[in-house]
């Protein structure tokens, strides 16, 4: 009888530890990324509302997974050119970011407020990986973390070739806006 009680206690303790570990992780599968290119000949923008992101607040690990084919353009032709000619989404279907929040000690995830976040890591687009260092904000409220960031991606850094004929249609640096609402994993 005593043995059974001990086993039950061990199981409950293990479950509690597991829940605590899970509570350190915040995720979304509906993050938003919007990119914007302003060039002399044309303005191009696209939206993706299916972005996966996870943040581990215990160590700052931060990842993104973005399906390139999920970007929606206003013009079907632009969407076609983006997927087939530029990012070649049939060869490189995902863009990823794997990095960390480097100023974790300045952010109190238990206390509501808006905090500046410094993020460093590897951004992979079109099969090319570059180290990036960007800034954003985390708004902590009601046990959710609302992350926002705007940064620029140079097309040439990711081996994305723009034909000479349309060089004035696409900006050399694309503005990227990230907007994610992260919720605890165990919810």
Partner 1 sequence: MNYNEFQEFIVRTIFAATNPKNYLKMKKWMKILAVLAVIGIAAASYVYVFVYNKAHPDYAQLEPEHSISTKACFETFRNNETEANQNFVGKMIQLSGTLDQIEYVDNQIIFYFIFSEGMFGNEGVRVSMLQNEQLSEITTGQNITLKGFCTGYNQTDVVLEHGSIIY
Query: Where along the sequence are the contacts to partner 1 (CB under 8 A)?
Result: 25, 27, 29-30, 49-50, 52, 54, 65-70, 75-77, 79, 83, 89-90, 93-94, 185
| Residue 6 CB neighbours (<10 A) | 10
Q: Tokens 């409950």, residue?
A: 12
What residues are paired with 181 via a beta bridge? 146
What residues are paired with 55 via a beta bridge? 26, 62
Q: Which is nearer to partner 1, 175 or 183 (CB)?
A: 183
The distance of closest approach from Cβ of residue 68 to partner 1 in the complex, given in angstroms and rounded to an integer, is 8
Q: Which is nearer to partner 1, 5 or 142 (CB)?
A: 142
Q: Which is nearer to partner 1, 67 or 132 (CB)?
A: 67
The distance of closest approach from Cβ of residue 49 to partner 1 in the complex, given in angstroms and rounded to an integer, is 7
- In contact, 29 and 52? CB cutoff 8 Å: yes
The distance of closest approach from Cβ of residue 27 to partner 1 in the complex, given in angstroms and rounded to an integer, is 5
| Residue 76 CB neighbours (<10 A) | 8
Q: Which is nearer to partner 1, 26 or 138 (CB)?
A: 26
* Alpha-carbon distances of 123 from 29, 95, 162, 187, rounded to whole Å: 18, 8, 20, 29
The distance of closest approach from Cβ of residue 169 to partner 1 in the complex, given in angstroms and rounded to an integer, is 11
Q: Which is nearer to partner 1, 73 or 152 (CB)?
A: 73
The distance of closest approach from Cβ of residue 5 to partner 1 in the complex, given in angstroms and rounded to an integer, is 30
Q: Which helix (H) or strand (E) holds 17?
A: helix 2-23
Give the Cα separation of 128 and 125 in Å (integer). Answer: 6
Q: Which two tokens stand for residue 11?
A: 């199981």
- In contact, 74 and 45? CB cutoff 8 Å: yes
């Amino acid at each position: 009888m005593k043995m059974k009680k001990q086993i039950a206690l061990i199981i409950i303790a293990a479950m509690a530890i597991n829940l605590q570990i899970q509570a350190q992780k915040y995720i979304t599968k509906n993050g938003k990324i919007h990119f914007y290119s302003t060039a002399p000949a044309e303005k191009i923008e696209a939206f993706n509302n299916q972005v996966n992101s996870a943040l581990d607040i215990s160590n700052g690990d931060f990842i993104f997974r973005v399906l390139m084919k999920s970007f929606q353009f206003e013009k079907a032709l632009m969407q076609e050119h983006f997927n087939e000619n530029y990012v070649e989404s049939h060869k490189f279907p995902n863009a990823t970011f794997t990095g960390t929040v480097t100023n974790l000690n300045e952010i109190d995830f238990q206390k509501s407020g808006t905090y500046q976040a410094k993020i460093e890591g590897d951004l992979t687009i079109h099969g090319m990986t570059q180290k990036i260092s960007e800034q954003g904000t985390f708004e902590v409220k009601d046990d959710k973390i609302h992350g926002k960031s705007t940064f620029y991606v140079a097309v040439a850094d990711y081996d994305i070739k723009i034909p000479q004929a349309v060089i004035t249609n696409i900006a050399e640096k694309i503005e990227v806006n990230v907007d994610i609402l992260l919720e605890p994993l165990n919810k």
